[in-house]
A and B are shown apart, each in its own frame.
Chain A
Amino acid sequence: MNRSMIDLWVGIFVAAGLAGLLFLALKVGNLATFSAGDTYQVHAKFANIGGLKVRGPVKSAGVVVGRVADVRFDNESYEAIVSMTLAVHYQFPRDTTAKILTSGILGEQYVGLEAGGDGVMLKHGDRVRLTQSAVVLENLISQFLFNKAAEGKEPAK
């Protein structure tokens, strides 16, 4: 195997390897979908964030408009503070509601933003005041059972 053949094959190998990495990054990962660019941060307080994770999506009308940047616990109000990074070309009114929703029945959780009607938009560092916490499955089930029990008692009365 002379030198130029070796060089050729090594070149092909390295190019293929880099192409593989590129394929993974673009086609498999989410590099093409949401990357850097101009962003601004807002935060919101929730009584319960459920299974929301950092880097989870922030969607409005089903479209990804941002990412969860940070999740902290406020030791005074005993609520969760979620910081979100939103793309700068998506502006939301100050009375927007932030809800923690689940994609599908058992899917991952995300922050859904429902726009309000206020004329003034949220700026960098603002707080989203209206929030709805995640639905915790156990509470839902116990509520359902409680309602069922209550229904059962009424006709008996």
Chain B
Amino acid sequence: MQIAALRSRLERLGSTVTSIVWRLGYASRFLAYLVMHSGTALRRFRLTIAEVYFAGVLSLVIILVSGLFVGMVLALQGYETLQRFGASESLGVLVSLSLVRELGPVVAGLLFASRAGSAITAEIGLMKATEQISAMEMMAVDPIARVVAPRFWGGVISMPLLAALFSAAGIFGGYLVGVQLIGVDAGAFWSQMQAAVDVREDILNGVIKSVVFGIAVTWISVFEGYDAVPTAEGVSRATTRTVVTSSLAILALDFVLTALMFTGGNG
């Protein structure tokens, strides 16, 4: 009796893994098709600009405010610990490196996934549910080129900019708390930061991370939207999947990229 139950559980596990792999393959073909048919999105750049507005500009408030708060908290917590070692002048280094290398791309990515990613999924899913996608196909317009591609490129363009703004807002928040509130020396704050943060090693790597996250999140968002079951419940499940899968993807990719970029011997 128990062996049968175990066996059926294993079978379900196997089929779940198979279906995940299959779905990943399907999503990859979707991405390849999307990129190959991005001509319209680039030629009629107006469409992509409208999507940069919806994904990027409308996320500005949450990104800037969150960045500010994260920077302020970093400064508070960091000062707490650093001053025990008499290293409170390194506060700028702590805040800036944490933000530029990790928190900027990752937290901005997570916020982007939940705000813009879910909106994109819902929008495309609803268009599918109300037959707008079919209508477009009937009018001999490729919906992937006309609807999906501009949203994809809009997201990919917006994400690095949002991550940079998050880090900048965070550093400013750290400055406000560290220098103005706590009283760390402003000169030491900025000069030690400049000495420690390297443009190529830290900032560029942070930008690369945010580009990778942007591609991953937007890809997941448009795919889940396009693949949604065309009912209200289907769209709601698709948006949930977008947020969950994007968040996991960001964290996993962050680990891989950090391991590649920031560790390894004397370099």
Contact = CB atoms under 8 A, between A and B. Distances in A.
Q: Do A and B come from one complex?
A: yes
Interface of A: 1, 3, 6-7, 9-10, 12-14, 16-18, 20-21, 23-25, 27-33, 52-55, 57, 71, 106
A24 B167 contact: yes
Contacts of A16: 60, 161, 165
A9 B161 CA distance: 14
B149 interface: no
Residue of B50, B57, B202 contacting most chain A CB atoms (<10 Å): B57
B263 interface: no
A7 B49 contact: yes
B199 A31 contact: yes
B165 A20 contact: yes
A28 B167 CA distance: 10
Interface string B167-196: 110010000000000000000001001110
Contacts of B49: 6-7, 10
Contacts of B161: 13-14, 16-18, 20-21
A54 B171 CA distance: 26
A101 to B, nearest CB: 15
Nearest to B60: A13
Interface of B: 46, 49-50, 52-53, 56-57, 60, 85, 87, 96, 100, 157-158, 160-162, 164-165, 167-168, 171, 190, 193-195, 197-199, 201-203, 207, 266-267
Contacts of A27: 190, 194
B96 A54 contact: no
A54 to B, nearest CB: 5
A71 B207 contact: no
A28 B197 contact: yes
Given A10-B56, A27-B190, A71 B164 contact: no
Contact of B203 (A10, A14, A17, A25): A25
B203 A6 contact: no
A88 B226 CA distance: 58
Contact of B57 (A9, A23, A28, A55): A9
Contacts of B203: 21, 24-25, 28-29
A30 B9 CA distance: 56
A9 to B, nearest CB: 5
Contact of B195 (A7, A14, A30): A30
Contacts of A32: 194
B52 A29 contact: no
Contact of A29 (B50, B53, B199): B199
Contact of B52 (A13, A18, A25): A13
Given A27-B190, A71-B266, A17 B53 contact: no
A28 B193 contact: yes
Nearest to A31: B199
A25 B199 contact: yes
14 contacts: A1-B53, A3-B46, A7-B49, A10-B53, A10-B56, A13-B158, A16-B60, A17-B165, A20-B167, A21-B164, A24-B164, A30-B199, A54-B267, A71-B266
B52 A53 contact: no
Contact of B201 (A6, A24, A55, A106): A55
Contact of A17 (B50, B96, B164): B164
Nearest to B52: A10
A23 B267 CA distance: 25
A145 to B, nearest CB: 24
Contacts of A13: 52-53, 56-57, 60, 158, 161
Contact of A24 (B60, B87, B168): B168
- Identify the 9 closest CB pairs spanning chains A and B, nearest first: A17-B161, A20-B168, A20-B164, A29-B199, A21-B164, A31-B199, A20-B165, A29-B197, A13-B57
Nearest to B166: A20
B236 to A, nearest CB: 26
Nearest to A57: B195
Contacts of A9: 53, 57
